[in-house]
Amino acid sequence: MSEKISALRSIHSEAAFLSENGYYGEYGGSYIPEILVPAFTEIKEHFEAIRQDDAFWQQYCALLADYSGRPTPLTYADRLTRHFGRARIYIKREDLNHTGAHKLNNALGQALLARKMGKTRIIAETGAGQHGVATATVAAKLGLSATIYMGREDMERQYANVFWMRRLGAEVIPVDYGSQTLKDAINEALRDWVSNFETTHYVLGTASGAHPFPSIVAYFQSIIGIEAKEQILRSAGRLPSRVYACVGGGSNALGVFQAFYPHEEVQLIGVEAGGQGKESGRHASRIAFGEGKPGVAQGYKTLFLQNNEGQMNDTFSIAAGLDYVGVSPILANLSERGRIQFSAATDAEVIEALEIVMKTEGLIPALESTHAFAGAFRDIAESSKSDIFIVNMSGRGDKDIFNIAEGLQDEEWKAFIHRKNAQFEA
Amino acid sequence: MKNGKHLSTEKTPSSKLSLAERITGTRTSGKSIQLMTHQILGYPDFETNYEMIRLFHESGVDLVELQLPFSEPIADGPIFLRANQASLANGTTTLKCLEFAGRVASDFPEISFLFMTYYNIVFQYGIDSFVKECATIGIRGLIVPDAYPEESDKFLEACREYNVEPIMIATPYTPDERLAYLSEQTGGFLYCAARKGVTGSKTAFGKETDEFLTRVRSQAKTPIAVGFGIQSEEDVRFLHGKCDIAIIGTQLLKVLEQDGLNGVKRFLKSLAVLH
């Protein structure tokens, strides 16, 4: 335990992704309405304090270990490796974290932070519903009340998660305007927060938003990379050649990249949602397609998909969790500095990659996480047998059964839904 | 004040005066509290915006806040949010807004026109060009709630260079030290949000408002405006003698949507008693 604490602390001393002034190159900052200034001051002070607080870390690490089931394994994907016959592929299994995704690492950390600040209520936005479920879960575990904002379209895409959030005791509020996706859920959570900050902490789920949220989320997610680095050194005796992670806002990518960041020889690759491809205009790739432009919205400066006048574009992806108009300012900066490469996987490539992973490894990655696999598969032909790829499987795909069945055009499933429907109507 | 009375009391050409001078000038002319109203440009359409402003002018409204719509208006409540999005869906652009603003500023010179928008609109236009354009077309101040002053050096510099006032927002939760800072940074007037939350819901004006405004008065170097949740003559009367400007935003849009321009006329008449 104390080893883990000191490993977490070492991230802080390396200060890879922590920023005192909130800027990562030209990106980041804190463009917040005046009413939120006291709330941000409070968070900054407490975040600073908990980083030095042994009791806090003991509690956090104990919950990660005994409640969430960490460390998650790093699985050697032998059949997948043989399938391509090139680089050895290892999979970081965030799907085995409690609630089935990496999201709990951050939700737990921030919920403990909220309790430290004397808040009794937490609110969150959610896209795929994983962060919503994680927040609802920690709220139940820590005795806080929770409200989750979710775009109406995302609720339809991820109804199983809506069901679980409500059953876990959280209030789920549909967001009915805009593109009805993640960005709109963030706006609505911010509106709640400006009215209720005295009792409420906003558990932002991704490494975006106003300072210090990118730092906080990257910090709590850094456990993924810390474990993965230890695990790969132990099992392969060396660092990987490449690490792949999907990028929506950027929380799982920053989580896994952080520990490898100081090792220049390790290539870090973020895979965005290519949707129906660059030409279609229906995608959520801010960096790989080169279409994101610097802008200021939702409290921070980053690359946004926007028109010439600064109105945000609608984004598209098969994966609700990647369907976001901005990107972590930390990633925007690391991309500009050339430390992280970006690619985008289309919906079709994702479905194809998913079938390969399911059949060779018996794993069902979330559609979000499958983007990371698709990115790795695209590059693998150029690799050699002496290379090692780590793919961060940020979450499990059971939640996606409706979308995956649709993507795979599974006739049996469709027939089952018809029967179920008839049964309810009877 | 009778309709259009400000026309006859003008001595110095008002266009030469600074925003604060225009505000205090009207005060010394006997008006005890001024009214600032609001329009979301392009909603329901520019023609209605123009008719609304004509009514404001007839009723003796002193300042009008013209909001340039943005797709992510985080400080706005549901009514303004939907109006922002409907306006954009109608095809409203920054250029159309600038053109319209130039027209009303020239047609109604007695009114001080301000822009309210979000930082990205200014940022994408080009901070310097945007503020310069405001000065050219007669916009006197800018309210940009997410242009957090510590982050917006370029914006504040441009405002000072072109003499377009950057209007800061204070809230009952703003500590004294920060209040002093905001009073220092703001130009024209200090915008006091009477409560937490977003635009459009009711404020219970009372002892807490009084305490807040007393605190503001002890620090402010400019006139003081109060907004967020002013819905009736009673609310305006409460603010009498406690601030210089009462801001009515969402309520006017509600009245327009429910009772049309005639409803707005009646509503403004109910407030005009105060003048």
Q: Do A296 and B175 touch (CB under 8 A)?
A: no
Please name the residue of chain A whose CA is at the shortest distance from the CA of residue B121: A310
| A333 CB-side CA count, 13 A | 20
Task: List Cα–Cα distances, A70 to A105, A155, A165, A249, B59, in angstroms.
Answer: 10, 29, 22, 23, 67
8 A C-beta contact, residue B117 and residue B90? no
What token pair was written down for B127? 């901070």
Q: Which of A366-370, B168-172, B200-204 is least confident? A: B200-204
Q: Which of A206-210, A293-297, A389-393, B21-25 is least confident? A: B21-25
**B75, B81, B120 member nearest A295 (Cβ):** B120
CB contact, 8 Å: B29 with chain A?
A: no
3-state helix, strand, coil in chain A (%, to 5): 50, 20, 30
Distance from the Cα of B124 to chain A's closest Cα (Å) equals 6
Query: Using CA atoms, how far apart are residues A129 and A125, in angstroms rounded to an integer?
Result: 9
Given a cut of 60, whether residue B162 has pLDDT beyond it is yes
* pLDDT attached to residue A224: 96
Convert the pLDDT of each residue in A305-355 to its tens digit.
Answer: 999 999 999 999 999 899 999 999 999 999 999 999 999 999 999 999 999
Contacts of A197 in chain B (CB under 8 A): 196
Q: Which residues 10-69 of chain A have a CB within 8 Å of chain B?
A: 29-35, 37-38
Convert the pLDDT of each residue in B216-236 to its tens digit.
Answer: 999 999 999 999 999 999 999
Given a cut of 50, whether residue B3 has pLDDT beyond it is no
Q: What is the ipTM of this complex?
A: 0.93
Contacts of B178 in chain A (CB under 8 A): 37
Query: Using CA atoms, how far apart are residues B56 and B34, in angstroms rounded to an integer?
Result: 12
Convert the pLDDT of each residue in A138-168 to its tens digit.
Answer: 999 999 999 999 999 889 888 999 999 999 9
pTM recorded for the entire structure: 0.94
Largest Cα separation within chain B, whole Å, is: 45
Query: Using CA atoms, how far apart are residues B115 and B70, in angstroms rounded to an integer?
Result: 13
Query: Using CA atoms, how far apart are residues A283 and A248, in angstroms rounded to an integer?
Result: 11
Annotated catalytic residues of B are 65, 76
- Residue among A42, A60, A210, A205 at smallest CA distance from A119: A42
Q: Do B120 and A306 touch (CB under 8 A)?
A: yes
Contacts of A305 in chain B (CB under 8 A): none
Under CATH, what is the fold of the domain B17-272?
TIM Barrel (3.20.20)
- Residue among B197, B182, B120, B127 at smallest CA distance from B149: B182
Phi-psi region of B91 (alpha: psi -120 to 50; beta: other; left: phi over 0): left
CB contact, 8 Å: B88 with chain A?
A: yes
Query: Using CA atoms, how far apart are residues A41 and A33, in angstroms rounded to an integer?
Result: 13
Mutate to test the interface with B, among A34, A194, A301 (most CBs of B within 10 A): A34
Q: Which residues 298-317 of chain A have a CB within 8 Å of chain B?
A: 298-299, 304, 306, 308-312
- Residue among A201, A260, A251 at smallest CA distance from A225: A260
| A298 CB-side CA count, 13 A | 28
Catalogue all structural domains in chain A, each as residue range(s) with its CATH number. 24-68+102-218 (3.40.50.1100), 74-99+222-407 (3.40.50.1100)
Pairing of strands A293-297, A300-304: antiparallel
Given a cut of 60, whether residue B13 has pLDDT beyond it is no
What token pair was written down for B30? 């006997």
Q: Do B120 and A310 touch (CB under 8 A)?
A: yes
Q: Do A311 and B71 touch (CB under 8 A)?
A: yes
Task: List Cα–Cα distances, B73 to A295, B27, B83, B99, B118, in angstroms.
Answer: 14, 33, 10, 22, 7
Convert the pLDDT of each residue in B115-149 to its tens digit.
Answer: 999 999 999 999 999 999 999 999 999 999 999 99
Contacts of A35 in chain B (CB under 8 A): 169, 171, 173, 193, 196-197
8 A C-beta contact, residue A68 and residue A142? no
Q: Do B70 and A187 touch (CB under 8 A)?
A: no
Q: Do B75 and A33 touch (CB under 8 A)?
A: yes
Largest Cα separation within chain A, whole Å, is: 63
Query: Using CA atoms, how far apart are residues A222 and A318, in angstroms rounded to an integer?
Result: 27
Given a cut of 60, whether residue A1 has pLDDT beyond it is no
Convert the pLDDT of each residue in A219-275 to its tens digit.
Answer: 999 999 999 999 999 999 999 999 999 999 999 999 999 999 999 999 999 999 999
- The residues, ordered by sequence, that sit 6+ positions from A381 with a Cβ below 8 Å of its Cβ are A84, A86
Burial class, B180, CB count within 10 angstroms (exposed 0-12 / middle 13-18 / buried 19+): middle
Query: Using CA atoms, how far apart are residues A171 and A123, in angstroms rounded to an integer?
Result: 9
